[in-house]
Amino acid sequence: MSSRTLLEEAERIVTSEVMKGSSTYQNLLLYLARSSVAGTIPKETTIALEIFGRRDFDPSQSTLIRVYIYNLRKKIDTYYDTIGLHSPQRLLIPKGNYKTVLEIKKNRSLRSKPIKPSYLIALVCVLGLLTFLLLRPVNADNSEKTIKTTNLWYDLIETHVPLTVVIGDFYIFNEQSPKSRDSRFIRDPEINSTEDYQAYTKRTGDSMKTNTVNFSMLPFYSNFWVKDLSHTFEQHERTFSLRTASRFNPVELQDHNIIAVGMLKTLGMFKNYFDNSAYSLNENYYLVYKDPNNGKETTYTPSGNPSERHKDYTFIAKIPGPGTNKIYLFGGLWDIGADEGLKNFTNPELRTFLEHRMTQEFGYVPDYYEILLEANGYDRMGIDSKIIRINEIQGDKVVWDFDVKNPVNY
C-alpha cells in the first residue's frame, strides 16, 4: 500500500462526520499518518510536545497520550462501522506503538459461494466444540482472571447487594420580588443544600420572598457519567438505580452499595465523610489535606477558566458503609474533576494504570483507600490527570457517625 493511499485514507477519516468538531483528534491522526509515511514512530513525549505543546510531559506520571490514542481508535472503529463500512481498506493503529497501517479488507463475496459438504461437516464439529466450551463450568484460572481485570469494581460486581448511583445535583429555589410579581429560579453556587438555603433566608429576611422547588439542575457531565457506568456494569450483567443527592433516601445508605459522583459541594450527606478524614472542605469547598505526620496543611484550589485551560482536583474514596455495604466517592472541586475521577475507573487503560500504581505503592490493591488527582482540562474537556497521593484506609474506620435512619439535614 502506497504512502499516498495511507494519507488519503487518514484525510477521509478526519473530514468525516465522526471527527467533526474534534480538531485535537484530527491533528493527532494526521500527525501519526505523516510520521508513518516518513518512517518514524513517535514516542509519547514527542506526541505530547507536537500535538499538546507539553514540553514537561512525563509518561510515567500522565496517561494523556494513552487516553487520546484509546479514544482515537474508538473513533476510527466508529468510522468503519458506519461511513467507511464499504471501504476496501481499513486504517489501524496497532496496540503497542503509535504507527498507522492500512489493512486490505477480506473479500465479502467469498461468503456467497456454496459450502462444500466437507466444510459443512467441519463446521458442525467446530460448533459442537464451541457449545461444549460454553456450557462447561468455568475453571478457577478463568475466574481469577475475571476478578483481576475488575479489581477496583470487584465489590460492586461480585455481589447481590443492590447498587445505587447518586449524582450530585445543583440546588434550585424560586425568588419573587415583594415589590412586583416578577419571579425567577435561582442557582446560587453558595447554596447547595436545604441547610444552606435556610441560612440564606435568615440573612436576607423579608427583602425577597423565596420558596423551595421540587426539582434541581444536573451538572454538564452527568449524562456521560451514567453512560460510562451503564457500559461498565452491563458487561457484568449488573444494573443500578439512579438518584440525585438532594433526594437521596438515607435508608439506602445502609442497604445498598453506593457510587456518589459530582462536585464535592453538591454531594449532600456524603460530605459527612470529611469529618473523619485527613482531608476536609473549607468554607469555599476547597480541599485541605492535613499531613498526619507533621500536621502541615495543604489547600488544593482549582485555577484557570473552565472555558479555556484550567486545573481541577479530584477526590476518590472507597470506604466502608454503615452496614456491610461499600461506598465509592468521585468528587471534584469543579465538575471536570469529578469526570476525570470516574474516568479512571470506567476507562480500562486508566483503571489498569491506577491498579498498577496501587500495587507499586502497597504491594496490593487496598480494600479501602483515598486518592487525590490533579485534573487538567481545556474548554470543559478533560485532557489528563496525575496522581498526587494515595492513602490506604483501615476497614474499621468510623465514617458514618450518625443515625442513618434519622440523619441530620445536609
Distance CA 361, CA 388 (A): 12
Higher pLDDT, 365 or 106: 365
Q: Which amino acid is at 92?
A: L
The grid cell for 337 is 474533576
User: Tens digits of per-residue pLDDT, 295-311?
Assistant: 999 999 999 987 778 89
| Per-residue pLDDT at 408 | 38
How many of the other CB atoms lie within 10 Å of CB of 368?
Answer: 19
Higher pLDDT, 271 or 1: 271
| Per-residue pLDDT at 119 | 47
Task: Average the pLDDT over 108-116 and give the result.
Answer: 43
If you average pLDDT over every residue of the chain, what do you get?
Answer: 82
> In terms of DSSP H, where are the helices of 59-180?
64-81, 117-135, 140-149, 154-157
| Per-residue pLDDT at 380 | 67
| Per-residue pLDDT at 130 | 52
User: Tens digits of per-residue pLDDT, 218-249?
Assistant: 888 898 899 999 988 988 888 999 999 988 88
The answer to whether residue 124 scores a pLDDT higher than 80 is: no
List the beta strands (DSSP E) in 137-254.
163-167, 173-176, 183-186, 209-212, 241-244
Collapsing DSSP to helix, strand or coil, 106 comes out as coil
**Residues of the chain above pLDDT 70, percent:** 81
| Per-residue pLDDT at 410 | 32
Query: For residue 111, what pLDDT band results from cuts at 50, 70 and 90?
Result: very low
User: Tens digits of per-residue pLDDT, 72-99?
Assistant: 999 999 999 999 998 999 999 998 889 9
Q: Domain boundaries in the chain?
A: 3-108, 153-168+219-392, 173-212
> Are the beta carbons of 400 and 322 closer than 8 angstroms?
yes
